[in-house]
A and B are shown apart, each in its own frame.
Chain A
Amino acid sequence: MLTTDLEQVLIWRAERDRIAAAEPAEKAALLAGRAQAIRRRVVQMIMTARQGHVGGDMSVTDILTTLFYGTLRIDPADLPKDRDRFILSKGHCAAALYATLASCGYFSPNELDTFMAEGSALNGHPNRVKVPGVETNTGPLGHGLPVAVGQAVGAHLAGSPARVFVVAGDGELQEGSNWEALMAAAHYGLENLTLVVDRNRLQQGARTEDTNGLDPLDARLAAFGCEVRSVDGHNHLALAEAYAPSTTGGPVAVIANTIKGKGISFMEDRVEWHHKVPTSEQADQALLELA
């Protein structure tokens, strides 16, 4: 198990507090700057590992940054039972999660250099037994939401104010287990549960709508009892607003409309960048664009 990096936690706390106190324009700029730094780190990790899921990492980064630098009631150095819970159901985007967790100080950012290296704690998919900040192991799709439902039910039973956030890919919603879980979330009135869908409209092999269409996704999620909020998934202020507590007494579903490969011109919205590894020239170009 990796250990908390207390120095990094202090850095994260200061940045989080600064973001919390900032006026909207500055807040947006700070979060955008943090997200770009995480994206650059992810590109470096993938270049070192020569493996990874760069497209989805880029689409989910703003979603993660807004959660970990504002919304989540968490602190890597202090893990009370009633803390908020976060699950990355699209576990193949572990690099984005690891870079985010390390920036918060859950473990040393130096560890990121071991991403997918032999014997590293940082497997291609997150493992809670080895990585602090990971609540459950994901990788196979459609697993995060049911576990999050269990956590939200548990929070109710315990009388805990904990909120539970789960980020799922859009293609992942083709797995039936998600819809089983949504039925239960509505039935149990889990107002403490927020599902964030990284709606980048691409899955591994093709566009979601050309594969097994999800639209009208908002209507489908609403029909399953969710309070649906559809936002620009790269707009940090819009995301932060969408992460606000439920107003209906039931689960919230945030459709974060994103661009796969966001921030890297030649990757954006291109299906082949699901898990392709850039050449070193492409990586240089990517890092320049993410500056």
Chain B
Amino acid sequence: MTAVDVTAPVHDNRKAFAEELMALAAADTRIVAVCNDSVGSSNLVEFRERFPDRLINVGIAEQNMVGVGAGLASMGFVPFVCAAAPFLTGRSLEQIKADVAYSQHPVILCGMSPGMAYGELGPTHHSVEDLSWLRALPGLDIVLPADRAQTRDAVRMLAAEPRPAFMRVGRHKVPDLPESSALERGRFQQLCDGADVTIVAVGTMVSRALQAAEALAADGVTARVLNASWIAPFDAEAVRAAAAQTRAIVTVEEANVSGGLGAAVASLVAALPAGQRVPVEILGLHDFAPTGSTNALLTHFGLDPEHLAEAAKAAMARA
């Protein structure tokens, strides 16, 4: 396995998102951006300068924003609807359900600064319920790029084959993945292999999972690390393989544990025949966050490499 460079530079994925979107928009006049006043926080200032007609800012009105996206999609445009993830998903959930997923309008919902990226601003500004809410909607793809390259991949792939989709565009800085990890629809990427335990990580947690795997290796435990970048449709095959080939599974997400990645993995493992089931440890949020920086909150909820390694051992102990 490639050694993890903990001193590697870290990046805000929003810049890569905006650059890729502009590159595509320059070549494809169907691409439009829709936002709720969040031109700056969605990194769309340059997009607005270059394509003033194609930046539709509806103001602070998220329900209308998602409906407008659906209307644009129905007219043949490829709308990237950008807003801070908590307001995009929470305020307009029924629009996402009825106007996007159920209507099958190919709107690409871009949840900016997801998870606890807005640390001290508190739970109103955290988007940790998004995976639970949106996984419940049939026909909606959910993509959580883990670094800059995957963010670009996601924008490119969704623009090339528009479909109802939600993607998280991370603000909390993360390193680029040590290995090239091309995004594939409905597939997890295996970043390293091991026989003892599988860590299924997503988004900001992927680089932390790699660090945990390295720490485990020092203790003689080999870990497979999967990047669950395309959560819906769900890569059941990768989870079944992990259950068959490793002794335990740990999931880790910057999201509430009710209904997110861990719940998806656990419900699949629970349905396996007796003898094929393995223990599943689900790491994520169980409560509204206290006041703190993003890093402090991630540690508070045990979403750091040390706790992750401990959880892996605990899961293996239950095998």
Q: Mark A134-155, 1 if CB is under 8 A from B, else 0.
A: 0111111011011111111111
Picked from B72, B94, B98, the residue with its CB within 8 Å of the CB of A150 is B72
Does residue A119 face the partner (Cβ distance < 8 Å to B)? no
Does B77 lie within 8 Å of A157, measured CB to CB? yes
Does B76 lie within 8 Å of A146, measured CB to CB? no
Does A149 lie within 8 Å of B98, measured CB to CB? no
Q: How far is the CB of A214 from chain B (nearest CB, A)?
A: 19
Q: How far is the CB of A73 from chain B (nearest CB, A)?
A: 15
Chain A, residue nearest B79 (CB):
A150
The distance in angstroms between the C-alpha atoms of A152 and B74, with both chains bound, is: 11
Chain B, residue nearest A144 (CB):
B67
The distance in angstroms between the C-alpha atoms of A184 and B63, with both chains bound, is: 12
Interface of B is mostly: helix
Does A154 lie within 8 Å of B76, measured CB to CB? yes
Does B105 lie within 8 Å of A136, measured CB to CB? yes
- 209-246 of chain A: CB within 8 A of chain B: none
The distance in angstroms between the C-alpha atoms of A136 and B69, with both chains bound, is: 12
Does residue A129 face the partner (Cβ distance < 8 Å to B)? yes
Chain B, residue nearest A155 (CB):
B75
Q: How far is the CB of B94 from chain A (nearest CB, A)?
A: 6
Which residues of chain A are within 8 angstroms of B72 by Cβ–Cβ distance?
150-151, 153-154, 157
- 39-58 of chain B: CB within 8 A of chain A: 53-54, 56, 58
> Are A157 and B32 CB-contacts (below 8 A) given A177-B63, A183-B61?
yes
The distance in angstroms between the C-alpha atoms of A227 and B74, with both chains bound, is: 26
The distance in angstroms between the C-alpha atoms of A52 and B34, with both chains bound, is: 36
Does residue B150 face the partner (Cβ distance < 8 Å to A)? no
Does A142 lie within 8 Å of B63, measured CB to CB? yes
- 152-179 of chain B: CB within 8 A of chain A: none
Q: Mark B60-74, 1 if CB is under 8 A from A, else 0.
A: 010111111111111
Does B102 lie within 8 Å of A137, measured CB to CB? yes
Does residue A128 face the partner (Cβ distance < 8 Å to B)? yes
The distance in angstroms between the C-alpha atoms of A187 and B57, with both chains bound, is: 10
> Are A150 and B67 CB-contacts (below 8 A) given A135-B74, A136-B99?
yes
Does B64 lie within 8 Å of A136, measured CB to CB? no
Q: How far is the CB of A97 from chain B (nearest CB, A)?
A: 15
Does A177 lie within 8 Å of B64, measured CB to CB? yes
Which residues of chain B are within 8 angstroms of A154 by Cβ–Cβ distance?
71-72, 74-77
Does residue A158 face the partner (Cβ distance < 8 Å to B)? yes
Which residues of chain A are within 8 angstroms of B73 by Cβ–Cβ distance?
150
Does B67 lie within 8 Å of A177, measured CB to CB? yes
Chain B, residue nearest A151 (CB):
B71
Does residue B290 face the partner (Cβ distance < 8 Å to A)? no
Which residues of chain B are within 8 angstroms of A147 by Cβ–Cβ distance?
67-68, 70-71, 74, 99
Does residue A176 face the partner (Cβ distance < 8 Å to B)? yes
Does A180 lie within 8 Å of B53, measured CB to CB? no
Chain A, residue nearest B71 (CB):
A150
Which residues of chain B are within 8 angstroms of A151 by Cβ–Cβ distance?
71-72, 74-75
Could you list 23 A-B pairs, sorted by A, with CB under 8 Å?
A: A128-B104, A129-B104, A135-B74, A137-B98, A137-B99, A142-B63, A143-B94, A146-B63, A146-B71, A147-B67, A147-B71, A149-B64, A149-B67, A150-B67, A151-B71, A153-B71, A154-B71, A162-B75, A177-B95, A183-B59, A183-B61, A184-B64, A187-B59
The 7 tightest CB contacts between A and B, nearest first, are A150-B71, A146-B67, A154-B75, A180-B64, A150-B68, A180-B61, A151-B71
